[in-house]
Amino acid sequence: MTGFAGAQRVPDKRVALYQRKKFLSTEDCAGLVALIDSLRRPSTITDAYGADADFRTSETADLPGDDPLVRDVYARLADYAGLNIAHAEALQGQRYAPGQQFKAHTDYFEPTGLDYYPHTADGGQRTWTLMVYLNEPQAGGATRFVHLNKLIQPETGKLVAWNNRLADGGVNSFTLHAGMPVRAGTKYVITAWFRERPRRNPAVVLTEKAAGAAGASGSLGDRA
């Protein structure tokens, strides 16, 4: 396997889960926080998770792919993971105020769910999730991988990445995770999801220079 150089892999054979501290600089994180604050809206959920009103209470921002910072960060994420940026969804930002959370869920689309076919029509199933903490709340806000008994604490600039699929292409239920309630302060993260196939509309508009660098590094190769 290529990608994730220098990252720490969680020692559990049931899932490919990596952490890399200081992946983004404090300056990059601050810029993304400001962008999230300018674009935030209530977060949504799919039918597979039910209608529990407090299931996901955060706010979400769809970050524009032609923004220079978004473009640069997305290119770096794809390059670092060795993933094909043509398979990427739009980069999302999330904001969690005190008391807000995202209860236990998976990032893949549930094959038996009502939303499966609409959500997978463009690009197929989700493969990798790459999430970066943009700050450290005063208390709470950890990411809990339920079946792994693993708790990951927010640290400014830290990347957390995992494969939502098994080696045979099936979905990996061991990736079930929760954004724990923030108890004090505010938590910001960005999340990048990659699909099995290229998307019809590119999520990020790379400059010629960035596209050339990504191609030279191999990040445009398909690696689900």
Q: What is the pLDDT of residues 25-35, one digit of tens each?
A: 999 999 999 99
Residue extents of the structural domains in the chain: 21-216
Q: What is the pLDDT of residue 223?
A: 45
- Mean pLDDT across the stretch 147-167? 97
Fold classified for 21-216: Jelly Rolls (2.60.120)
pTM of the model as a whole: 0.89
Structure tokens at 135: 């700050």
CA distance 169 to 69: 33
What are the CA-CA distances from residue 111 to residues 62, 114, 155, 207 (Å)?
25, 8, 33, 36
DSSP bridge pairs for 88: 194
3-class DSSP state of 102: strand
Q: What is the pLDDT of residue 207?
A: 58
| Rg of the chain (C-alpha set) | 16
3-class DSSP state of 214: helix
- Mean pLDDT across the stretch 23-52? 85
173 has pLDDT over 80:
yes
Strand 17-20's sheet: what is its strand order?
8-9, 17-20, 159-163, 126-133, 187-195, 92-96, 59-62, 41-42
What is the secondary structure of 9-74 as a DSSP string?
EPS-TT--EEEETTSS-HHHHHHHHHHHHHH-EE----GGG---TTSB--EEEE--TTSHHHHHHH
Q: DSSP class of residue 218?
A: T
More confident residue, 47 or 27: 27
